[in-house]
Structures are given as structure tokens and as C-alpha cells.
Amino acid sequence: DVDTFIIDKNKINKKNLKYKNKVNINFIGGYTLNENYQFLEYFLKKIKINSNIEDNIWGPAFTQLSHNNIKTPKEKSISIIVNSWRDFISTNNITQSIIKSEEILEIYEKFILKTQKKNIFIIITDFDLPSMNIRHGKNCNLHDEIRLVNLELKKLSNKFDNTKFLNLFEMTNKVV
């Protein structure tokens, strides 16, 4: 029952429970994730893990990755990079790109390399696809470009032990 679940979540999240296991979670990118933090905190407490969840800055992940000052954490840390098709385009003109795919991949690789020996685990989500196919540049459309970047991000993630690629939007991307 959903009501019982929500009541339990609110009750447990209010408690200041102390567990031996602790994890820091940092969301990078994304647009509206605030409600997800409470559910994540709840599920972690249910398995006896304390968490420190940092809010994300609204906007493209790659802009935050290139400016991210990475410190070596005391506890286990997870960075969850949330991607969106909106990250590719100009807000003024959806057919105009704000960044090249190669640049995005280069930023991600540099970030992963910086975190590799710092006790930080990285989860990278795939980019979702817009509901309509947008002409993107002279010779391609946005769907094709995003599929290519997702494929390259998956390959990049597989090269590193501290990084996993999450096909979060794969099912919805296939429907489009």
C-alpha cells in the first residue's frame, strides 16, 4: 500500500539512526531530483546504511564535471551522473548544439581518471532521447548522436573498475 510506504519513509527519514556503514552520495547533473533523495535515504536506512546525500546543481552534468574539485573522501563515496538530452542543445535554439560529443566524452574520461584512486565509485546514466526527433547540425539528428554517445560512455565505463554505466532510459529510448 502506497500510503503505508510513504508514512514509513517519512517516519524513518526523520529518525537520526546511526549505523556502522556510511556512504556519501553526490548527484551531478539532472534537473529535478529532490524527491528521489528522500527515497534513496529511506532505502539505505532500511538496509542499515547512513547516507550523506548532496543535492545536485541544476543543469548539464558535463559542466559540473569539468569544474569539480575532487577530494579524497573518508567514507565510501558514490557520484551519480544524471544525463539528459537537454544537455546537448542550446536553450535558445534546439537545433543548435552547445557542445560536441567528443568534448563530452573527453570531460567524462578526465573526471573518471581523477576519481579512480580516491575511493569514489561512479554511476553514469545514459542520455534519454527527446520525444521528437530533432535535426541536429548539418548531417545528423539528435537521436543518432545520443545513441552514439551512450554507446561510447558505456565503453568508457567498462574500462574502469570504479565506474558503471546505468541504462536508466534504455527502455523508454527504444519506444521512441
Task: Please say if the pLDDT value at position 176 is more than 50.
Answer: no
Q: Is the dihedral of CA 147, 145, 56, 36 positive or negative?
A: negative
Asked if residue 148 has pLDDT above 80, the reply is yes
* pLDDT bracket for residue 136 (50, 70, 90): low
The mean per-residue pLDDT over the stretch 88-97 comes to 74
The model's confidence at residue 34, banded by pLDDT at 50, 70 and 90, is low
Distance CA 102, CA 144 (A): 14
Question: Distance (Å, rounded) from C-alpha 12 to C-alpha 44?
Answer: 11
Neighbour count for residue 169 (Cβ, 10 Å): 19
Cell output for 92:
535558445
Q: How far apart are CA 144 and CA 126, in angstroms?
A: 14
